[in-house]
């Protein structure tokens, strides 16, 4: 892909006026070949994006600002190497909507020419990036839109919905997982959120977190986990159900089985999981890693100096990348912003234009920003880190396609 083609969605060039840390990050990216014009050579799986959010239909706080633009969003993601997106289910209703969305876009023609980004953008935009769309020709290589998968579960702040009719809600979650088949790759988003107990009491959260652990254990799916300001209770609940606990229970069962009926049961443990959007301490992260969990990193994981220090110390074998779109962008006020290496053409929602991102609305294409910041904070080659995160994600959610053994 030529530089002018890549400029459709991102303005080339490093901000030379940034701090020395940003210059170092840019140098690492340039050395690795992961420049803006070649960023699609990298491979990404965005493990958490809220693609059912009304912003992608042009609705902001109940007001229509523009037409739905999810196709443009998916194209931009593909241009930046995003091969898959896991749509987050935060309730039974949202999980159903996520499945419907995945089915729709996976059944659409997933081959688009880059020229289809919209040559008309040059006529209605004053940015250099959009103007360069006109240079794109039908000879541009074809581009596959990201494949979509889903999680199915109930967010801790939504657990009052679960509590209204627990048995029916759990039955419906299980039925939706069965209906989704391979499109459902995890149980969640579930866990504990003590930062927003005004939406759901802690004891209610704990009750329905445990019930979703049961669903994950019974279905064999990994878990997509939420953790905010509740580390002690979270660890107390998950410790005995962790992947490490499951492996130990399986080993014990194998050692003691008579072989008469196959040894039965998974010992109460789950197959795996990721604590997404992690913003906790290094000590807690270390315990989560030791229990066999992965750590999901997005913009909210990179807000403070302490966040960067934690992210820089994580095991490479446990790092996953995500955007949590349309939330968790890396803002200029965040400590991680010092390491950003690109500018994105943006317009306010009510000034929407093709070829532009919507200001303050995060998108899966910006997973490259997460990579830039994380790689710079870790003083690591971004290509190496991107591929490690890609393979980690395959191991957790798409193990049949993984190039390395499960762990």
pLDDT in tens, 176-229: 999 999 999 999 999 999 999 999 999 999 999 999 999 999 999 999 999 999
Q: Which of 7-11, 263-267, 291-295 has the lowest mean pLDDT?
A: 7-11
The candidate with the shortest Cα–Cα distance to 112, out of 86, 87, 84, 77, is 77
pLDDT in tens, 367-384: 999 999 999 999 999 999
Say which residue, 107 or 324, is predicted with more confidence: 324
Cβ-in-10-Å burial (0-12, 13-18, 19+) of 256 comes to exposed
- Locate 109 and state its tokens: 């023609």
**b/e burial code for range 93-119 (CB count within 10 A of at least 16 → b):** ebbbbbbebbeebeeeebebebbbbbb
Distance of CA 353 to the CA centre of its chain: 25
Say which residue, 15 or 253, is predicted with more confidence: 253
**pLDDT (mean) for 95-118:** 74
Integer Cα distance of 312 and 309 in angstroms: 5
The candidate with the shortest Cα–Cα distance to 318, out of 254, 237, 392, is 392
163 Cβ contact partners less than 8 Å away, ≥ 6 residues apart: 204, 207, 208
Q: pTM score, two decimals?
A: 0.84
Percent share of the chain, pLDDT over 90 = 72
- Locate 304 and state its tokens: 């403070």
Q: Where are the domains of the chain?
A: 3-256+265-401
**b/e burial code for range 356-373 (CB count within 10 A of at least 16 → b):** bbbeebbbbbbbbbbbbb
The yes-or-no verdict on residue 120 having pLDDT over 50 is no
Residue 406: C-alpha distances to residues 126, 132, 160, 259 (Å): 49, 44, 36, 25
At residue 247, the pLDDT reads 86
The yes-or-no verdict on residue 387 having pLDDT over 80 is yes
- Would you identify the CATH topology of the domain 3-256+265-401? TIM Barrel (3.20.20)
C-beta separation of 106 from 45 below 8 A: no
Helices (H), 281-330: 282-290, 305-313
At residue 268, the pLDDT reads 66
**pLDDT (mean) for 63-70:** 97
At residue 405, the pLDDT reads 57
At residue 108, the pLDDT reads 64
pLDDT in tens, 289-336: 999 999 999 999 999 999 999 999 999 999 999 999 999 999 999 999
Q: Which of 65-79, 105-119, 323-337 has the lowest mean pLDDT?
A: 105-119
């Amino acid at each position: 892909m030529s530089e002018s083609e890549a400029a459709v969605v991102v303005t080339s060039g490093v901000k030379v006026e940034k701090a020395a840390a940003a210059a170092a990050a840019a140098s690492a990216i340039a050395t690795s070949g992961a420049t803006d014009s070649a960023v699609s050579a990298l491979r990404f799986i965005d493990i958490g994006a809220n693609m059912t959010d009304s912003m992608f239909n042009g609705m902001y706080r109940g007001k229509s600002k523009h037409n739905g633009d999810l196709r443009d969003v998916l194209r931009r993601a593909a241009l930046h190497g995003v091969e898959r997106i896991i749509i987050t289910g935060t309730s039974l209703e949202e999980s159903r909507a996520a499945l419907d969305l995945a089915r729709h876009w996976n059944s659409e023609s997933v081959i688009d020419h880059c020229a289809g980004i919209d040559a008309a953008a040059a006529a209605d935009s004053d940015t250099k990036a959009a103007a360069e769309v006109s240079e794109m020709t039908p000879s541009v290589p074809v581009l596959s839109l990201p494949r979509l998968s889903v999680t199915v579960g109930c967010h801790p702040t939504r657990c009052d919905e679960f509590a209204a009719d627990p048995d029916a809600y759990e039955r419906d979650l299980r039925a939706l997982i069965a209906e989704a088949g391979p499109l459902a790759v995890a149980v969640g988003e579930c866990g504990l959120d003590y930062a927003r107990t005004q939406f759901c009491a802690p004891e209610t959260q704990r009750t329905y977190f445990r019930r979703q652990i049961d669903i994950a254990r019974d279905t064999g799916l990994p878990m997509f986990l939420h953790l905010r300001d509740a580390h002690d209770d979270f660890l107390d609940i998950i410790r005995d159900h962790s992947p490490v606990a499951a492996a130990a229970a399986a080993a014990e069962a194998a050692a003691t089985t008579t072989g008469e009926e196959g040894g039965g049961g998974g010992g109460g443990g789950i197959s795996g999981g990721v604590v997404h959007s992690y913003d906790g301490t290094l000590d807690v992260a270390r315990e989560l890693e030791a229990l066999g969990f992965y750590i999901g990193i997005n913009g909210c994981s990179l807000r403070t100096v302490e966040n960067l220090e934690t992210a820089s110390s994580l095991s490479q074998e446990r790092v996953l990348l995500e955007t949590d779109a349309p939330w968790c962008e890396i803002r200029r006020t965040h400590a991680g912003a010092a390491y950003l290496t690109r500018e994105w053409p943006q317009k306010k929602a009510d000034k929407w234009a093709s070829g532009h991102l919507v200001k303050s609305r995060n998108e899966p294409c910006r997973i490259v920003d997460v990579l830039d910041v994380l790689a710079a904070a870790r003083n690591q080659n971004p290509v190496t880190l991107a591929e490690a995160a890609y393979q980690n994600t395959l191991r957790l959610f798409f193990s049949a396609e993984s190039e390395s053994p499960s762990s």
